[in-house]
């Protein structure tokens, strides 16, 4: 029984990966037709986000339980955090050596902010403040995801400004 379950889970993961790649290619083709996405960085960024969002949607379709929604949101949050690091490094590499410390300081301050917000989100989700229920976990996870996505957008906007383009 365990072997069948494990093989089914493995098959689902392969199927999701294949579907993400197929739909990513369709998405890429549709973006290439749009003038505003003609720059390589814009295309890369749009595809990076599309893959994460598509994976989350497919995970939700496969498991729409509270636990499934929570796991899909956590997975998306981790992926967006990885993407944030990718574009942070790109921005850092574009700055002059003497200017890099300003970005590093801003990022350290943002991490302090993020950690404080996560702490507050967890506090507000307590039963005595929220009314309780397992749905509160999803609200917390979604708010935490939004914080990271927002920072990613800020970093990307810095990177894609006309002064940063090669």
What is d(CA 138, CA 123) in angstroms, rounded to the nearest whole number? Answer: 14
What is d(CA 17, CA 58) in angstroms, rounded to the nearest whole number? Answer: 10
What DSSP designation does 125 have? T
pLDDT of 112 reads 98
pLDDT of 35 reads 45
On the question of pLDDT at 34 being above 50, the answer is: yes
Average pLDDT over residues 19-38: 72
Left, alpha or beta for 148 (phi > 0: left; psi -120 to 50: alpha)? alpha
On the question of pLDDT at 109 being above 90, the answer is: yes
On the question of pLDDT at 164 being above 80, the answer is: no
pLDDT tens figures, 77-93? 999 999 999 999 999 99
**Taking each helix axis from N to C terminus, what angle separates 100-124 and 135-160, rounded to the nearest 10 degrees?**
160
pTM of the model: 0.77
pLDDT tens figures, 126-147? 999 888 888 899 999 999 999 9
- Read off the tokens for 21: 């790649």
- Read off the tokens for 65: 């339980």
Average pLDDT over residues 89-112: 97
- Read off the tokens for 142: 């979604």
pLDDT of 96 reads 95
Among the residue ranges 7-11, 12-16, 23-27, 97-101, the one predicted with the least confidence is 7-11
Q: How many residues does the chain have?
A: 166
């Amino acid at each position: 029984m365990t072997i069948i379950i494990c093989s089914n889970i493995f098959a689902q993961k392969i199927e999701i990966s294949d579907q993400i790649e197929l739909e990513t290619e369709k998405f890429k083709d549709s973006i290439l037709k749009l003038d505003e996405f003609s720059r390589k960085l814009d295309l890369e960024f749009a595809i990076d986000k599309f893959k994460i969002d598509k994976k989350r949607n497919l995970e939700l379709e496969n498991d729409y339980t509270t636990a499934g929604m929570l796991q899909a949101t956590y997975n998306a949050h981790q992926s967006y955090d990885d993407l944030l690091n990718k574009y942070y490094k790109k921005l850092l590499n574009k700055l002059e050596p003497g200017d890099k410390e300003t970005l590093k300081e801003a990022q350290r301050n943002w991490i302090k902010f993020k950690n404080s917000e996560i702490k507050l989100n967890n506090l507000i989700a307590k039963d005595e403040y929220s009314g309780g229920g397992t749905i509160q976990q999803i609200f917390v996870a979604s708010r935490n995801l939004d914080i990271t996505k927002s920072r990613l957008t800020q970093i990307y906007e810095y990177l894609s400004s006309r002064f940063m383009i090669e």
